[in-house]
Every structure is written in C-alpha cells, then in structure tokens.
Structure 1
Amino acid sequence: MFGRIRRDKRLENASVRELARRYSVHRRVDRQALDSVLPPKRKEPVTRRSALDPAKGWIDEMLRADLTAPPKQRHTNKRILARLRDEYGFTAVAYTTLNDYLRVRRPQIKDEADRARMLHEGMVPQFHRPGEEAGIDFAEVWVRVDGKPLQCRMFTLRLSYFGKAVHRVFSTAAQEAFMQGHVDAFRILGGVPVRHIRYDNLKPAVSQVCFGRSRVESQRWVAFRSHYGFDAFYCRPGKEGAHGKGGVEHEGGRFRRSHLVPVPEVDTLAELNERIERIEVEEDARHIDNRPTSVGFDFAYEAPLLAPVPEEEFDVGLTLTPRVDKTSRITVRQNKYSVPARFIGRTVRVSLRADEVLVFDATR
C-alpha cells in the first residue's frame, strides 16, 4: 500500500486528503508513506506483570515433584496455595489466578518431562529364534452368554518368531484360567517354547515383584512351569513393560476387532472357544506385515522346533475342601453348589477349573 500511495503522489500529485480517502486510511499513514518506503515498526505490546510471577518457580518445582510422587499424594491446587503462604510467605495471589496458571502449566510440565525422557531412552528391536519364545497376555472382551452380557478375559499365547497365536475366552483371569489357557495352547501348537515365555507381572504367576527382574512366584505356578519345561521372563511393571512383548499386546486387540465384533452371542463359553478354534485354523492363511508367506506356512517350519508336550497332563484345577452345610450345598469362591444330601456335614474335595467345578467323594 505504501508503494501505491507513493506512485499516486508521483504520477498524479494527489493530495494527502485524496490519498487517505482513496485507500481508506488516516492522513497520518499517507505522510508516513511519503516520508519512508517502509512502514514503521509496530509497537510491541507491554505485557502486564502477573502477581504470580515471583512464585512461578516454586510452583513448577512442586509440579515436577508430583511426576514421581504416589498418585494419591500429589499437590492439589489448595495445597500449593497453602505451601506458598506457609513456606514462602507469598500471599499476593488469588486462588482463581493460581487455578488459571495450573490449568495450563501442569500439562506443560508433564510434556516437558516426557520429551526429556524420549531423548535419553532408546528402543532396540527384539530378535527371536524360531521355536524359542512366546508371549502371554489377557485382553478384555464382552460376550453375550445365554442372552446376558458378560465381561470376560481372552487369553492369548503368541509365538514370537512367526506370530502363530492361540486364543481362549474365560470368565475370569484367575490362576485356573491362566493355566488352562497354556494347556490348550500347547495342545494346539503341539509343543512348548524351548527357551522362555514373556509375561506381565500377573497375579496368577507372581506373588511379589522384587528388585530388577526378580519375582516371588506362586508354588503351583512353579510346579506348572517345571512340568512343561519352560522358563518365565517377566517384563517391567507399568506401560514400559508392554514394549517387552509388543507382539502379543497387539494380537489380542487385533483378534478382538477382527472376529469378536459385533459382540458374539453364544449359549456357553465352550461354544465360543470352539468357534475361535475354527477361526484360528482359517487364520493360518493370514499374512503378517506383508510377508510373502502365510502364518500357517511359517508355523509348519517352526512347529518341529518346539519342545514336545509331556504325555502326563498337569492337573490345573485348584484343590479345595469345603464342608457341606445343612442345606446340602458347598461354598466355592463365594458361590453355592448343590451336592447329594447324604454328604451333609461331611467334607468333600473340590477341583476348581477354568470352566467347571468337580466335586469328589474320595476318588469318585
């Protein structure tokens, strides 16, 4: 615009008033254009100093300390205001002003910490040998059983090298279901990984998480591993541990989206698992990550490299000894089950499994 004003003045000798009317500007702008080819710099706005400025450093320290503090012992807005008053003698700010600052600054502190951690943490691609490793995970899945919605857990075992996977749906993720999922997977695969299987720190296996990768395992779980002859590799707790077994973490969600949408309707979970087993046979034709060969073709190479399954089966049932009450019922995991009336007052043996409850009188 300054160039056009100067051009009109040079060629037409237009007056300042005429130029102001022609370009819809103030006459002061016309004079600035005639005096200089460049417009004057805009005045920088003077930001008003906030009453909170002297305390921002203290507040940021509290927010950074919260990043490593227990979730239930982190600073609330009122606690920050109280500490500013009691520890630093700072009372020149209103509670609403502090809220406005924390609403913006708290997520910024978290993002800064995440970016700093990304600069120091690296990712190393995992290398797996065929037949040596697998990963285990549970995924949440909803099923409509006998017309009623039921929240279940889907057990997934995935071989790490070629990606062959086995899935089973159970009503819970208890130790019985955890072990039964292994038994079914070993049966379908026809073998056991010869090195180890990767796990989260699941309660059915781990009683206590110690320093590093040391774990206190439950006795039944140790006996189960010893029977089938494989070792357990426990990933780090929290989200960081998901990177240690990323293949099976993705597999549960992929299978759920591909084959359990919409919500399956079945009469029993056994019927659903039979359907899943047929789906797994069909999935042998699937290709992973644009590989030239299918899952089934690759597994045919990996299957002979697995360790053989022991001929003797491991009893995955949890043994309990409830007493039959006067109503001819026993209590197993807070559920009531009927038994013949002739056992009233006696103690019976129960084998609690993932999908059934077996009651024994001696060996019958």
Structure 2
Amino acid sequence: MGVEGLIGYFRRNRFVPVPEVSSLAELNEMVEQWDRQDDARRIGSRPKTVAEYFALEQPLLMPLPEEPFETGRLFTPRVDRYGQIPVRTNRYSVTIRLIGKRVRVVLHASHLVVYDQNVEVARHGRLIAKGAVRLDLDHYLEVLVRKPGAFPGSTALEQARSAGRFTPVHDAWWDQARKIHGERDGPRALIEVLLLGRYLPHEHVVAGLAAALRAGAMTADAVALEARKAAQAETEPAPAAERLVSGEPSATVTSLHEWRLAHLPADTRPLPSVAPMTNCSDVVAPAAATTVREKHSDPAPPASLDRAGRRRRHRQRQSASAAAVDSQRVLRHRRPGDEGPDDLLGLPR
C-alpha cells in the first residue's frame, strides 16, 4: 500500500463519520493516538506489523533538519496605543511596553506568536470570526495597578473569566480583599496576586489563593507564600502518606523549647540546702534593730559646726549685756521734764 492508498484507508476508517472536536489541537491528539494504534496492524498477509517494517526502514531514511520548517505566515504590524496589533481582520493584545513599536507575527492554522527582536512576547489562539478582539489580562496589569478602578469592568477580565483563567477562587478572594482593604486597594491587591502568575504556575497561584482565603490573609505576600508551599508539596514526596502505607508511626511536632531541653547536658550539681540559714535569726535581728535606730536617730553635728554655734551665741549675749548697760546709763543722766520713748508709750520709769 502506497502513501496515497494509506491516506485513503486512514480517512475512510478514522474520519467517517467526521469526529467532533473543540479545537485543532484536540484533533491532532486523536490522530496521534490512531497512529499508535495503527502500528500494531498487519497489511494483508505480511508477517510483520507496520511498526516492525518501519523499524527496518528507519535507518535508511535521512535525518530531519535541526531547525523546524516554518509553515506560518509572517506579518509585521505596529502596536497601537491600546496595546493591540491587527492581524488579518482581527486584533490581538501584546504587552503595553511595546506601544508604538513594530513587532513580528507568525500566523499558524490554530494560533499566532508575536516576537519582539526574536523574543516571544505573546501567544494567542487564532480567531476565526471577523472583527473579533482577543485580550490577555496579563498584558494590562501594569496599567491596572495604577488605575485599579478600571479593573472590574475591563474586557480583558471578562475574557479571562470566559477562558477559565480567572476562577471563582479569584472572585472569592477579591470579595474578601475589598471588605478589608476597600474598593480601591482591594482590586490593587488582586492585581498584585495576578502578577505572581508571571513566575509561578497558574494552578499553584490558585492553590495559594484558596489557602490564603481560608487563613484570612488578604495580601499578595501571603498568596505567594502559600503558592510556593503548594509547588514544594507537589515536587517533594509526601512522607506522611508513605508512613501510613508502610505502617510506620506518623511524625509528631516538637517545639523548639522542648528540643533544646532534651539536648542539654546532664546537671550534676547538688541541690541547694537551707540548713546553714536556720540559726541566723538571733544574729540578724539585733543588727537589724540597731540599723533601724541609727537610721531614725538624728546624726551628731560635726565639731566645727558646734564651735561656730557657741561663738555666735556668745556674741549675742555680749550684745544684749551692752544694750542693757547703755539703757541704765541713759536713765541715770536724764533730767526732770525730759520725755523719752517710754514716757510717750506710758511705761513706768
């Protein structure tokens, strides 16, 4: 059977009736599966199967080229002010940093790829209808984080919901974030979470959102932490499940304080005793009483202050004696008829 005959055989046996698929990629997967099934078929009365004959023929074939043959059609549109490019009769979004630049687009049968200087910057499924627009929410996150009020009613958000990229878990986390952070900072927190999808897988971000929602942590940092935990749990084996299967006891959580106490060296010092302190009451009490009396009694003045006080009192007595002598002398020498302060006050002489 030649190549043309095999194509007819394959079409009559696999494409009748015409299979119903949702995309060209799904149809290609079905064709590959039918190819693997056809390897076990024998043609007529030949002793070997199709796969065995191909194994004998494969070393005689020339190797495939190192670079794949490009079958797509090339376009070089310019990015408009909305971050979109026209391809045929439809429009597709690219990252907003390319606004005003010319990019290279390779259009395939089921998808298209956008390049900026040989670097892939966007990939979209090809639109069949005319005049349609396909927007990727990730391309507009830098603008929306500065203008979070435009996020709820954006067309990119509606298309993300329709494509299943914006899940009900996103909506539930967003509702709680708006209650806690408000109508302005709530959408901004969600946009920061969506930015995590640029370096974390989508399923891990969704798992992080669900874990943060259960914990009541409405921040992008908490979601990133939970997403990394989900990625780590996926890559590492589950030791607890293996222990349950093997019958080993499950591990217990030990606090750091208990671990430190368990690893301290043994203390060989003897316990303290109060025996030497039993007869100290008779010795301590008089000393304490003396201390209390000394504390409340007036301290003795220094000798220098005592001598100065005696001199001052001696001078005061001398001044009083001299004043008394002068007053007696005045009274003896006063003539009759003289009036002094005592007479004016009515005092006896």
TM-score by length of 2: 0.30
> Higher strand share goes to which structure?
1
Q: Which has the higher contact order (CA 8 A, sep 6+)?
A: 1
Rg comparison, structure with higher value:
2
